[in-house]
Structure 1
Amino acid sequence: MNTLYTLIPYLKRHRTTIGIGSLFLVLTSAFQMAGPWILKLAFDGLESSITKQELLVYAGILVAIAIVAGICRFFMRRLLIGTSREIEYELRQDFFRKLTVLSFSYYNRTPTGDLMARATNDLTAVRMVLGPGVMYTMTTVITLTASVTLMALLSWKLMLISLAPMPLISLFMYLYGGMIHKRFESVQEQFASITARAQEYLAGIRVVRAYGQEESAKEEFSNQNQEYLDRYMKLVRINGLMHPSIRFLAGTATILVLLFGGIMVMNETISLGDFVAFFAYLNMLIWPMIALGWVVSIFQRGAASMKRINYVFNSEAEIVDSPHAVDKEDLQGAIEFRDVHFTYRTRPDESVLRGINLKIEPGETIGIAGRTGSGKTTLVNLIPRLFAPDKGEILIDGSPITHFTLNTLRNHIGYVPQEAFLFSRTLAENIRYGEPEASQDAIENAAELAQLSGDVSEFPKTYETAVGERGVTLSGGQKQRAAIARAVIRSPRILILDDALASVDTRTEEAILGGLRSYMSNRTTLLVAHRVSTLKLADRIVLLENGQITEMGTHDELVAKGGAYAELARMQELKDQLEATS
């Protein structure tokens, strides 16, 4: 339950609204408590010489009490439940804000479906604590205190008899509460797993169908679903035992009052009006006693969910602005790697980069070659600080990149990753994503530079065509060119193309490179590529092998050396010849 203390700052922000809502809650309970006392006076009057007019007055008072209590209840729920929704909104905003600053290493080890479950189901469970949980807890405490006090005024002996089952109810709450917490936490973990699995299958549905694995996918998802059902049924069994147990004990109190209270009325120890009022107060008390089980369940579920949310909130962002980071409007684009080492946390025994030393002049184009897994992508990912080196440093314009704010650094970098990701928006919105204020002319110029404008003219709504989730309506080459357009529209000082032309054919590649050649002439560009035809465009080429720079020079120089790059170029040339003759 300590995990719920995280919510205190959120509650403090809304203390005025919560205070007013609580006032209406107290008023609602007060008017409800007045009703049985009016009944007592009416019944006592029936035993004496009450007039018809007086009876109508009592009836009118009861109607007035019901109306005022209903109005107070409306404002109570409007304020308290409304506040819980507002806090849920704030929690979700903070949760998403936290996700935007967590490092890539965090996402590498955390399934997307798990985060989706925390952002939906877990937040809903927490909201139930803040709304109904808090409201019914306060109602229970007020009703319990007031009812017991008024019952004692009517007959302290009968009050003690009616409260005889209370210790057992408290024991049940304690025992069931712990079991609910553990089982609901288990349920939420499995829900996260099943959400992650569903998200994975939906994202890879084409692969599933292409390999005829529909039945295998169904079976695996069914197993996950069955495990979720099994865990939830264990929780249901606990809830199923708890509520009847409380109702039974509460019903026992009713039987005891009916038996002993009836005897007291017959013996004239208490009046009929006292007995009716006492019974009404007992009924008011029974509902909170029954609701107490539900409230305990809500709080235990909320605590389990808040623990999962706190795990994200407490995760440290590894890449943040240093205390003395500065904003800078202009960068020249000089880059230098000094003895840079890097290892992924998921593979701590495998060093990806080792002792990288490389100096790049402003406006220079550097080609980065190497076999798969040699560290090419990791190297360029260090420049915009998507990851941080374990050792060594990276400088831009002679200053360590940590001296610049992340906004400064990334606003001056145009980055095209290996896998182009497009949002489920229009093509124009995807291109403009790199420069939100870009004009339509700028969008069209960027598309033309990326050799995409010809394709766009054939789209049903040209640039306003919706590309679908992950750009599903576009071909691989079109998505890649849209990503290039998104990078160049912001006119960055540093352009990173991470195998960005792998999804286009040779002819389109030549056209794109032809358009980019003049564009790159006054920008520092890093070209990660497998194709030698792409690398030829570079002023210098760096060859990476096992995380180290083993060769460096122009294309002609490296071919003349007859080393690993020359072999790579020869194999690429043979492949191109075979494709041309096939």
Structure 2
Amino acid sequence: MCYFRHLQVKIFGIRGCFFGIANMILVKRMRETLYSTLLFQDISFFDSQTVGDLTSRLGSDCQQVSRVIGNDLNMIFRNVLQGTGALIYLLILSWPLGLCTLVICCILAAVMFVYGMYQKKTAKLIQEITASANEVAQETYSLMRTVRVYGTEKQEFKRYNHWLQRLADISLRQSAAYGIWNWSFNTLYHATQIIAVLVGGLSILAGQITAEQLTKFLLYSEWLIYATWWVGDNLSSLMQSVGASEKVFQMMDLKPSDQFISKGTRLQRLTGHIEFVDVSFSYPSRDEVAVVQNVNISVHPGEVVAIVGLSGSGKSTLVNLLLQLYEPTSGQILLDGVPLKELDVKWLRQRIGYVGQEPKLFRTDISSNIKYGCDRNISQEDIISAAKQAYAHDFITALPNGYNTIVDDDLLSGGQKQRIAIARAILRDPRILILDEATSALDAESEHNVKGVLRSIGNDSATKRSVIVIAHRLSTIQAADRIVAMDSGRVVEMGSHKELLSKDGLYARLTKRQNDAVL
């Protein structure tokens, strides 16, 4: 007997090991699949999703699924085998008693199924509320300086506590449901013992079974009931995992953006002739509002075109459309006469240099941030050369580890981040250069120096880069070949600095207001 017990322990241990390995592989592949699926979604997908929700799906939701194989399926498989063996032996001992026990187990299974479905629904709700709570916490911590300045700690605590209270209410109902399930088990378990004793006693008096058989029956029926209870408990946990992972599987089923699955055209030679032809656009989240309306702009190779206008006039939206982050609602954008949507997206973006108003740097060393996205071999000398052109070399070498310094939010100022982003754009040697408020955080001297560099790389006769500049500081774009003034998503003026001043229109008014503000 001891030998078989020892063998059983070994078998269970080996099985648990295999289930643990399978669990590790499952969770790893789930996270890989989910991350890659999210990575290749349209940018509009991220406009409608919060960072806290997505990270919660990648983190806690995927980990919740690990219980399915690591524990739930393992224990369900084990107890189903044990319960089946016990039921067969009970029917052999006494089929009337065995059938009575089976009926009770079926009732217990029905209660178990209802409880499991409730657990699935509750788990899905818990994960959604947890994701909302995580989003509040992440937002508060990322904006801690704003919270401190405005003294809204209690307000933020109330926001977070609101979701915690909802989570506590659901957990309370979940505990009550577990209590009902546990009470049902205990009631049915004791009912089984009472029925077995009564029917077994009558069977002994009738000479149908012996006292020894009744004793064995009581032991094996208890084994069957407990096996059923364990199956129910693990099945409810399984349903809870399924409910928690439902959103994960929905996201994993998302198809990647058409940009990444369609094979676009790669031009043999890119000159950088850009044309916006009757382009209109509305963001998917608010399609009733036209952000850009019937825009017609042409940018020739080697030309610097500046786009100005009030906030919300559609300047940055044009850049987003050119970068193919969104597709125009109507009209089209041509590059060297070829519609932008027909081109290979990855190939196109490798030939575009982009510097935004608030560049985000990755938490890696400065060298890696500068060469980020370059598909050619880059030497350290190339990185240093680009940093010097962007007037970033001096402050980088003054850092504790120079170009190997890990970027931190508190380490660099806004202007320093912009200069690193400009160095990244210079290093790419782009055919098209887009500057969206690229010098807004620079001091006057750095802006003057960087403007000269940007102008020189835009008008390099050997490359003839096309440059699009968006700026609120009109001093930044006075030397542009053409200036496009936009208002409410429409082009209202176009010409050189002198021509637009003489028209006394929108551009002239903006220039006058800035001059008055300086005075």
**Which range is displaced more, 79-88 or 394-403?**
79-88
Aligned to 1:213: 152
Aligned to 1:486: 424
For residues 482 and 158 of structure 2, the distance between their equivalents in structure 1, rounded to whole angstroms, comes to 52
Is the Cα contact below 8 Å between 2:120 and 2:243 reproduced in 1?
yes
Aligned to 1:127: 66
**Which range is displaced more, 239-248 or 79-88?**
239-248
**Which range is displaced more, 133-142 or 413-422?**
133-142
1:403-422 mapped onto 2 (5 Å cutoff)? 403-422=342-361
For residues 450 and 464 of structure 1, the distance between their equivalents in structure 2, rounded to whole angstroms, comes to 18
1:102-117 mapped onto 2 (5 Å cutoff)? 102-117=41-56
Shift of 1:290: 1.4
Q: 2:230 aligns with which of 288, 291, 295?
A: 291
Is the Cα contact below 8 Å between 1:416 and 1:498 reproduced in 2?
yes
Is the Cα contact below 8 Å between 1:184 and 1:235 reproduced in 2?
no
Is the Cα contact below 8 Å between 2:113 and 2:232 reproduced in 1?
no
Aligned to 1:11: none
Shift of 1:269: 4.5
SS of equivalent to 1:163: helix
For residues 239 and 417 of structure 1, the distance between their equivalents in structure 2, rounded to whole angstroms, comes to 54
For residues 445 and 241 of structure 1, the distance between their equivalents in structure 2, rounded to whole angstroms, comes to 72
1:355-504 mapped onto 2 (5 Å cutoff)? 355-435=294-374, 437-468=377-408, 471-504=409-442
**Which range is displaced more, 256-265 or 149-158?**
256-265
Shift of 1:570: 2.1
Closer, same or farther: CA 330–235 of 1 in aligned 2, 3 Å = farther
TM-score by length of 1: 0.83
For residues 189 and 74 of structure 1, the distance between their equivalents in structure 2, rounded to whole angstroms, comes to 36
Establish whether residue 574 from structure 1 lines up as the match of residue 512 from structure 2. Answer: no
SS of equivalent to 2:301: coil
For residues 113 and 362 of structure 1, the distance between their equivalents in structure 2, rounded to whole angstroms, comes to 43
For residues 390 and 94 of structure 1, the distance between their equivalents in structure 2, rounded to whole angstroms, comes to 31
Is the Cα contact below 8 Å between 2:120 and 2:244 reproduced in 1?
no
Q: 1:550 aligns with which of 492, 511, 515?
A: 492
Aligned to 1:81: 20
Shift of 1:279: 4.2
Aligned to 2:445: 507
For residues 535 and 331 of structure 1, the distance between their equivalents in structure 2, rounded to whole angstroms, comes to 25
Deviations 1:384-440 (A, max 9, x none): 211111111111111111222221111111122222111222222222222275321
**Which range is displaced more, 236-245 or 510-519?**
236-245
Q: Which amino acid aligns with 2:382?
A: A
Q: Which amino acid aligns with 2:309?
A: G
Q: Which amino acid aligns with 1:66?
A: R
For residues 139 and 147 of structure 1, the distance between their equivalents in structure 2, rounded to whole angstroms, comes to 13
For residues 164 and 135 of structure 2, the distance between their equivalents in structure 1, rounded to whole angstroms, comes to 12
SS of equivalent to 1:526: strand
SS of equivalent to 1:395: strand
Give me the identity figure in percent.
Answer: 32
Is the Cα contact below 8 Å between 1:164 and 1:253 reproduced in 2?
no
RMSD across aligned C-alpha pairs, in angstroms? 2.3
For residues 150 and 422 of structure 2, the distance between their equivalents in structure 1, rounded to whole angstroms, comes to 31
Establish whether residue 65 from structure 1 lines up as the match of residue 4 from structure 2. Answer: yes
For residues 267 and 73 of structure 2, the distance between their equivalents in structure 1, rounded to whole angstroms, comes to 49
Deviations 1:296-324 (A, max 9, x none): 32232233223212332344555524745
**Which range is displaced more, 267-276 or 137-146?**
267-276
Shift of 1:266: 8.2
For residues 226 and 183 of structure 1, the distance between their equivalents in structure 2, rounded to whole angstroms, comes to 15
Closer, same or farther: CA 328–83 of 1 in aligned 2, 3 Å = farther
Aligned to 1:229: 168
**Which range is displaced more, 268-277 or 390-399?**
268-277
For residues 540 and 493 of structure 1, the distance between their equivalents in structure 2, rounded to whole angstroms, comes to 19
Closer, same or farther: CA 438–324 of 1 in aligned 2, 3 Å = closer
Is the Cα contact below 8 Å between 1:328 and 1:408 reproduced in 2?
no
Shift of 1:510: 0.7
**Which range is displaced more, 153-162 or 386-395?**
153-162
Q: Which amino acid aligns with 2:418?
A: Q
Establish whether residue 346 from structure 1 lines up as the match of residue 314 from structure 2. Answer: no
For residues 385 and 215 of structure 1, the distance between their equivalents in structure 2, rounded to whole angstroms, comes to 42
Shift of 1:204: 1.1
Shift of 1:362: 1.7
SS of equivalent to 1:419: coil
Aligned to 2:110: 171
Establish whether residue 336 from structure 1 lines up as the match of residue 275 from structure 2. Answer: yes
Is the Cα contact below 8 Å between 1:246 and 1:293 reproduced in 2?
no
SS of equivalent to 2:331: strand
**Which range is displaced more, 317-326 or 195-204?**
317-326
For residues 452 and 254 of structure 1, the distance between their equivalents in structure 2, rounded to whole angstroms, comes to 82
Shift of 1:352: 0.5
Is the Cα contact below 8 Å between 2:109 and 2:232 reproduced in 1?
no
Q: 1:565 aligns with which of 501, 507, 512?
A: 507
Is the Cα contact below 8 Å between 1:154 and 1:278 reproduced in 2?
yes
Closer, same or farther: CA 463–324 of 1 in aligned 2, 3 Å = closer
For residues 74 and 357 of structure 1, the distance between their equivalents in structure 2, rounded to whole angstroms, comes to 71
Where does the alignment leave 5 or more consecutive residues of structure 2 unmatched? none
Where does the alignment leave 5 or more consecutive residues of structure 1 unmatched? 1-61
Q: Which amino acid aligns with 2:432?
A: I
Is the Cα contact below 8 Å between 2:80 and 2:231 reproduced in 1?
no
1:180-191 mapped onto 2 (5 Å cutoff)? 180-191=119-130
Equivalenced residue count is 514
Closer, same or farther: CA 262–432 of 1 in aligned 2, 3 Å = farther
SS of equivalent to 2:469: strand
SS of equivalent to 2:90: helix
TM-score by length of 2: 0.92
Establish whether residue 309 from structure 1 lines up as the match of residue 248 from structure 2. Answer: yes
**Which range is displaced more, 284-293 or 563-572?**
284-293
Is the Cα contact below 8 Å between 1:113 and 1:199 reproduced in 2?
yes
SS of equivalent to 2:325: coil
Closer, same or farther: CA 311–571 of 1 in aligned 2, 3 Å = same
Shift of 1:255: 4.5
Closer, same or farther: CA 352–147 of 1 in aligned 2, 3 Å = same
